[in-house]
Chains A and B, each alone.
Chain A
């Protein structure tokens, strides 16, 4: 029966105490990274920067968050433009002409459940036998296709970036629907996951989730400084890590031997 699994340990917790930058992407077997004249819609990127207090709590910093958001938006536009893409970033559900906030919310909600499923079954090890070796095999279906038809965009990108992870679960992962904290298992800033970013790319012509990536960086890693996302360099680095090395699906790369994208 369909019970949203209570993922007692969530990403941030599972990546605690590692002194490095980790990234892992999955792609649809047939995925080719967008190139040339494509239109990308970035839906309400979620950016937070906080400061770590001596007590181990993260204090949200309004000014830093604003700076980081602006830097990331700039970096994102520059990065996508280098591939030829035209990017529109919307901050609110009311900003998309021809689409009601309700329709957009429904797409976001379904994406939340799909992203949660991807994390549970691809990143947290509870894999589904029928999906082994099939790359990324989830879809948002007709809701996403309709969104594409109404707006003319080719892709939608959902993105989350958090510097100084404010909680083990709800805030960090909740926004894309990884509402993984069962009551009783949400500690703030578990371990040292200082930066947590993830993104999913949806092909609005087919509705398929074609690419998904998670980046975790801890404070001990060289070149990562706390609050980094506020600076243009830090934001560029993050966008590059998250989106820059988008690899094609296995069927495209190695048509002879389909295997998991790593």
Chain B
């Protein structure tokens, strides 16, 4: 599982490990062989029981109205997992849930759920394929049943205690924010917390799978780098120090996941090979929902994280959409000086030909608040021209006089 929270949890565990003076050796991609073949079905009792539960879970998830059903997008995800899914590629199912968090998970019976928050954060197809390959790695290495059996071996108190800690603590990897769980699966998911070793296996396996498909292996490391950057930015904005126990902050060298991933990538990269990260293809796929993805993120009012994300995406070029949402971050943060910052972003956004109608509306509102009535009215008029059936047209018309 990949999520912001599981990252930190895993970090805490490994930091403790390092503190105890134990250094774990890197798991090398070439050692990662799939443990299941095509058409795998469980034969042992406990795994069969688990699959039965998962069938019901999948039925619930497949019928959830939180799923994005756009056939172009779901077809794209299906295509990706069918490409980087290794021997089980054709057996996997994949669902896209409309939840604005960085999260992707693989269920024991071979279906994956990807959150829309992941699509916002990926900069190219290679990164998305990397996350999907990582999740496939959990399945191909049979991590779910292994961690399940591992949990079962532990004593009463520990099992219950671990469960409580697991669900409650950051280590759960089941972060649905303040959201209620997707089809009530949080508890089930918490049973499949992976050990650091399993995450390392999935990383190595994922890197191997995307390299074999022809994606630049280094993108796997870039995902984590971006994630760490976002976490740090979020924490800093809220006046928190970098979280203690986060490996990436306190142990940036030996043994870190990021370093391992970079080493994997270096090992897998064949000099002279022409790798394609698929940025153009990726953007053309998600362009239609990008305004929604940005909207979902920015309205959570996490200014540090949102600003980091927007600037990361803008590394591929600023546009009207990104400038508008940069302004929205300031406006919602609303600290002294932010109104001015927001108004500047809106003013810049509307210069771009791709500025969304909402940029004109907010441009108008901020001009009006500055007493620049004539300009404000022009901006409102432009908004109404672009979006004649805007739901707030009645209010805007009153403002436009």
Contact = CB atoms under 8 A, between A and B. Distances in A.
Interface of A: 4, 48, 50, 53-57, 59-63, 65, 92-93, 101, 105, 109, 167, 169-171, 174-175, 179, 181, 183-188
A61 B44 CA distance: 11
A179 B180 contact: yes
A53 B184 contact: no
B203 to A, nearest CB: 26
A57 B159 contact: yes
A105 B183 CA distance: 12
The 9 closest A-B pairs by CB, nearest first: A174-B184, A184-B168, A62-B52, A55-B159, A60-B49, A170-B187, A56-B156, A170-B184, A60-B53
B52 A105 contact: no
B18 interface: no
Contacts of B155: 55
B45 A61 contact: yes
A57 B158 CA distance: 11
B59 interface: yes
A55 B53 contact: no
A54 B53 CA distance: 20
* Majority SS at the chain A contact face: loop
B202 to A, nearest CB: 23
A93 B63 contact: yes
A186 B167 CA distance: 7
Contacts of B49: 50, 59-63, 65
Contacts of B160: 56, 187-188
A179 B186 CA distance: 10
Interface string B106-120: 000000000000000
Given A56-B159, A56-B160, A60-B49, A170 B186 contact: yes
Contact of B187 (A59, A65, A109, A181): A181
B50 interface: yes
Nearest to A50: B49
B154 A55 contact: yes
B152 A181 contact: no
B99 interface: no
Contact of A185 (B46, B153, B168): B168
Q: How large is the interface on B (under 10, 10 to 19, 20 to 34, 35 or more residues)?
A: 35 or more
B188 interface: yes
Given A57-B151, A59-B46, A175 B184 contact: yes
A182 to B, nearest CB: 9
A12 B140 CA distance: 36
A179 B168 contact: no
Contacts of A170: 181, 184-188
A55 B156 contact: yes
A159 to B, nearest CB: 15
A70 to B, nearest CB: 14
A110 to B, nearest CB: 12
Nearest to A109: B65
Interface in B28-66: 45-46, 48-53, 59, 63, 65
Contact of A169 (B46, B152, B154, B187): B187
18 contacts: A53-B152, A54-B156, A57-B151, A57-B163, A57-B191, A60-B50, A60-B52, A61-B49, A62-B52, A170-B187, A170-B188, A171-B187, A181-B186, A181-B187, A183-B172, A184-B169, A186-B167, A188-B159
A186 B46 contact: no
A92 B153 CA distance: 36
B164 interface: yes
B232 interface: no
Contacts of A93: 63
Nearest to B57: A171
* Most central of B152, B154, B184 by chain A CB within 10 Å: B184
B234 interface: no
Contacts of B156: 54-56
Contact of B186 (A48, A60, A183): A183
B59 A92 contact: yes
A169 B53 CA distance: 16
Given A62-B52, A170-B187, A186-B163, 20 more contacts: A55-B153, A55-B156, A60-B50, A60-B52, A60-B53, A61-B49, A63-B49, A65-B49, A65-B52, A174-B184, A175-B184, A179-B180, A181-B187, A183-B174, A183-B176, A185-B167, A185-B168, A186-B164, A186-B186, A188-B159
B345 interface: no
B190 interface: yes
Contacts of B187: 167, 169-171, 181, 186, 188
A183 B167 contact: yes
A183 B189 CA distance: 12
Contacts of B151: 55, 57
Contacts of A179: 180-181, 184
A113 to B, nearest CB: 11
A21 B271 CA distance: 71
B316 to A, nearest CB: 35
A186 B160 CA distance: 10
* Most central of A4, A61, A185, A186 by chain B CB within 10 Å: A186
B168 A105 contact: no
B42 to A, nearest CB: 9
Nearest to A65: B52
Contacts of A4: 180
B1 to A, nearest CB: 15
Nearest to B59: A92
Contacts of A101: 63
Given A62-B49, A105-B65, A183 B185 contact: no
Contacts of A59: 46, 49, 152
A73 to B, nearest CB: 16
Nearest to A178: B184
A184 B49 CA distance: 25
B168 to A, nearest CB: 3
B352 to A, nearest CB: 37
A59 B46 CA distance: 7
Interface in B163-215: 163-164, 167-169, 172, 174, 176, 180-181, 184-188, 190-191
